[in-house]
Amino acid sequence: MASTRRTFLSELLASSLAPLLSFAAAGAANGGRWKLGLGLNGFMSSAQRYKKEYPLWEILDFAAREGFEGIELVDGWPMGGYPRAEEEARVGALRRLYDQYGLRIYTFQTGGAGAHAADPEARAAWLEQMTERIVLAKLLGCDFIGHWPGGGLEGNANAEEALGHLVSSYRAFAERCAESGLHFSFEIEPPFIFNTPGQLLRILDEVDHPACKTNYDPSHFDLMAGSTGKTEPLLRRVGVERIGHVHLTDTDGTLFGGTSRHLACGEGHCDLAASLSVLRDGGYNGWIMIDAWMIEDVYHAALAGRDMVRR
């Protein structure tokens, strides 16, 4: 069944991709410079916590006017989940919406704990779902897929056992991403069972695949590094070559809303200029998304982050 479904998805991708290639060409590599993105997660969290209203057309118009090149989608916001890969009309409509504003859907967030579940059938189901997400990512013109391995122990005896299962799932997923010319970028956070520098490095080392990368989010790296405001040493330990996405945000080194507090760039204690220098010197040329998670004024945070990247 899994093989048949995978074959079906591959055939669907081949038959559906051709009409959309013109959009992909417009968003092709642009001389190796950083590409500036904006995440819908900030607007979602601000709307939920602070009861703000953010019409999607207003967000996209703002992003286009202020120099952003792409948007990172978040599942379920502003309305409904992602379309399934085989829903060609819905996928096409989603792309056309962003195309009208000259913006790329360059990635989207995925979550779930199936990747490290103790039950092998649950892990297999996760892999098949993520295989469909690969097809969707290609149809939308994405460069990569984001994954957040949240959840609990999921039937494992301890985090060590869960990490072993996560590594196995990630290795298989990395191979499927590479087959389609994509990578995935995972992010661990304080509330997850995987939340230490040692676990982060083990995942990368043991998966050991170029299509498996991790996010650099200064707020999370700061907490993992002892809330000193100096995240560059851990960034160097991880290695810039293994950074698949940047979520740029500042922090004061505390927790807020269950995870690392996010602040507008320049309003916390992180030396973000030093972080960007490490990324530049290490040859990072991917997307930098301005991450305004649970920040009340998302537009202010977006502009502060944009200006820091430009400087």
Q: DSSP secondary structure string, 75-88? A: TBTTTB-PPPTT-H
> How many domains, the chain?
1
* Tokens (6 digits) for 63: 């992003």
Distance, in Å, from the CA atom of 7 to the CA atom of 145, rounded to the nearest integer, reads 20
Distance, in Å, from the CA atom of 31 to the CA atom of 28, rounded to the nearest integer, reads 9
Give pTM, 2 decimals.
Answer: 0.90
Q: Is 209 domain-assigned?
A: yes
The string of pLDDT tens digits covering residues 179-192 is 999 999 999 999 99
Q: Is 28 domain-assigned?
A: no
pLDDT at 30: 35
At residue 169's C-alpha, the angle toward residues 7 and 221, to 5°, is 130
Please name which of 147, 141, 209, 214 lies closest in space to residue 179, comparing C-alpha atoms: 209
H-type helices in 37-119, by residue range?
40-50, 56-65, 88-99
Residues of the chain with pLDDT under 50: 16, 18-31
pLDDT at 29: 34
pLDDT at 2: 54
> What distance lies between CA 112 and its chain's CA centroid?
14
Would you mind telling me the total number of residues written for the chain in this entry? 311
pLDDT at 33: 84
Q: Is 70 domain-assigned?
A: yes
Q: Is 162 domain-assigned?
A: yes
* Tokens (6 digits) for 83: 């379309």
Q: Is 292 domain-assigned?
A: yes
Q: Is 222 domain-assigned?
A: yes
Q: Is 159 domain-assigned?
A: yes
pLDDT at 32: 53
Distance, in Å, from the CA atom of 276 to the CA atom of 269, rounded to the nearest integer, reads 15
CATH number at residue 272: 3.20.20.150
Please name which of 37, 36, 58 lies closest in space to residue 47, comparing C-alpha atoms: 58
Q: Which domain holds residue 154?
A: 2-15+35-310
Q: Is 20 domain-assigned?
A: no
CA distances from 305 to 24, 53, 232 (A): 26, 21, 18
